Structure 1
Amino acid sequence: MATRRVVTGLADDGTARVVSDGPAPCVLTDERAPGYETVHLWATDDVPAVPGDGADPTHSGQAFFPGPKGSRFFVNVFPPGMGTAPPDGPASPERIFMHVTRTVDYGIVLHGELTLVLDSGEEVTLRAGDTVVQNGTMHGWRNASAAPATVAFVVLGAEEAAP
């Protein structure tokens, strides 16, 4: 998915400038799910300082999820059929890519339809314009529709809750 990214920063004279305008610097795919993409738009590994000069901290070798003070901004494309059951049986947790992270994730569905699957068995179908706040719980995604689903995520690193 071609995604244009515009980044601002301060010029030497202290005025705001566009310092970058072009394609996202990093696009990841997953061979287990043909058509799946993660387009990394911005990443921090520490609390950012502003105003900044627009220097790009995003690179292909970074950890997918941030540490406690970091953040990630990316867009995911979930292909049709991702996380659905194979023709001969039910979907397994591995097929849904169930996972848990130490992050708070803000997601907004930009296009299509996607189902949030929780380890409790609860499922919520999200459509274009719907949002989700994922609070570091076990979850996965299922696209049972015939079209790709596109979701933008802002992922914030978090500390683990005390028992």
Structure 2
Amino acid sequence: MYSTVEHVRFLSTAYTSKAYLTASAENNIIVTSSPPRQHPHDHPEVWILKPILFPIAWVGSYRIFNMSHPQHAIKASDCSRMGINITLAPYNEETDSRNPEFVWKLQTIADSRMLVRPIVAWNLNWSVPGNGKYPDPARVILWEHLGGFGNETWVIEHTTPKVICS
């Protein structure tokens, strides 16, 4: 079973840092201790989570807290400063050619104006600027995309059929 607080190692495009992922009884996920932006063009919002720390069993509603850029949460949605409401659900659209059993996404529920789309992380040729290609598909990617209107898109994808849930 998972403890209340799991130590999660995040890999960003520029550096590796430690953070905490908290799953409370209210189905809250809190991401804290995020490093500050090192350069205006860096993308510290790109995180890679090992799937063992984010099991498929955690389907439901959550709130994500971006402590490094709390103002973005205000711009991105009408929710409070504390975070963004999201729902973890299977990605299963008729237009998706991938196996929906292996792909998951975080869908925002705080602001219906926000656009949510998956990342093609299942394709190992896909890369994040500054981070190169991902050689290991057994990862889950949490991506915050800052759009032209200040909207944020939170997407999580499970890219391997084997996920340890216990």
TM-score (norm 1): 0.27
More strand by share: 1
- Larger relative helix fraction: 2
TM-score (norm: length of structure 2): 0.26
Larger radius of gyration: 1
